[in-house]
Amino acid sequence: MAEETKKRKADHIKICLERKAQARKATTGFENVHLIHKALPEVDRAKIDLSTTVLGYKFYAPIIVGAMTGGTEEATKINGAIAEAVEKLHLGMGVGSQRAAIEDKGLVKTFAIVRKKAPNAFLIANIGGVQLVHGYGAKEVKKAMDMINADALAIHLNALQEAVQPEGQTNFEVVLAKICEIARALKKPVIVKETGAGIAAEEARELEAAGVKGIDVGGCGGTSFAAVEYFRVEEEEKRFLADAFWDWGIPTAVSIVEVTQTVKMPVIASGGLRSGTDVAKALALDACLASVSQPVLSAAVKSAKETEKVLSCLIEELRNVMFLVGARGVKELAKVPVVITGTTAEWLTTRGFKLRGYARRGAT
């Protein structure tokens, strides 16, 4: 079993690096989210403070690297590079699903490297919600947390991925009850994250009631796990489901609004965030952190320095947007006027969300 998991993880990395496993027609919706330029910003760009405190940790900037990998030699290198970069920049990161190392002690070092390289960064352990349905419990969670001395646990939801895989686990019955058990028993915060299909208001509400302390929307418009599975399957006749569901999901910008307007807990924006401007838009829609995966992966296979460069560019672009909208800090960014147009606005108003509040925030 561990061998199979290890091979699948290696395939994911290879595909995400070499193929275009990104949404094909779907978009994040950020193209319909507009920040209003402020001709009189009344802000000294040099004094802009990007720091923010989330789940008790002070981040230099509201950016983390999303869960990606572990379990192989290459994954050790990638995890090490990301960890070194986030330590230097005072950010945070998630590791990929730790299932392989929970089942094979020999693979623990492929994850443990992150705490070695990042003694102070915010580190997020990772297990699958579907694994909780299929036998995982407090013991396995403890192993995952201890492996990296984690600050939080992410439970990932990947129904789409499992549904398009020929060997996928598609029994998700009682997944919420299992998440609830873990969330209530664990002393550290539990974050529930999607992996590219987004989270709607209804599920956010249920997760809040279950005791979850953070939601990472993992919306549609960036990396598509249907696409990843499409490239993994060699037989043409087994690819049709992955092809059909390539662009399935709730666009990231929509999911952020659905979740932030529904629950009172930190919301992490992820899924197709590709620039500092995307990060700024996510924060202006009340997300408290932005998480980036695929663009960091391409840098992390090269080095920690390259990883740091990618993250620093995001930070500088974010700082520039904050200057241009007159936000001295991330709290002020959450109050700037935002206009939502097009299909993103239509989606949200049809679902009963109020959008005028965003546009009028800056009005006096």
Ligand X SMILES: Cc1cc2nc3c(=O)[nH]c(=O)nc-3n(C[C@H](O)[C@H](O)[C@H](O)COP(=O)(O)O)c2cc1C
Smallest separation (angstroms) from ligand X to the CB of 199: 11
Asked if residues 229 and 207 have their Cβ atoms less than 8 Å apart, the reply is: no
Element (H, E) at 63: strand 63-65
CB closest to ligand X, residue no: 222
For residue 283, give the nearest of 55, 61, 42, 40 by alpha carbon: 61
Element (H, E) at 164: helix 159-164
- CA–chain centroid gap for 2, Å, is 25
∠ Cα 207 205 23 (to 5°): 80
Smallest separation (angstroms) from ligand X to the CB of 90: 21
- CA–chain centroid gap for 68, Å, is 10
Which residue, 99 or 336, is less far from ligand X as judged by CB? 99
Which residue, 223 or 255, is less far from ligand X as judged by CB? 223
* CA 317 to each of CA 119, 126, 280, 294, 324: distance values in angstroms, whole numbers, following the listed order: 27, 29, 9, 18, 11
Measured N-to-C along each axis, helices 73-89 and 2-18 cross at an angle, to the nearest 10 degrees, of 60
Smallest separation (angstroms) from ligand X to the CB of 350: 25
Smallest separation (angstroms) from ligand X to the CB of 28: 8
Smallest separation (angstroms) from ligand X to the CB of 61: 16
Which residue, 55 or 273, is less far from ligand X as judged by CB? 273
Residues lying near ligand X in the complex (CB under 6 A): 12-13, 16, 66-69, 96-97, 126, 154, 156, 193, 195-196, 218, 222-223, 270-273, 292-294, 297
Which residue, 28 or 261, is less far from ligand X as judged by CB? 28
Gap between the Cα atoms of 54 and 66, Å rounded = 16
Q: How many residues comprise the chain? A: 364
Which residue, 10 or 359, is less far from ligand X as judged by CB? 10
Smallest separation (angstroms) from ligand X to the CB of 178: 16
Which residue, 66 or 80, is less far from ligand X as judged by CB? 66
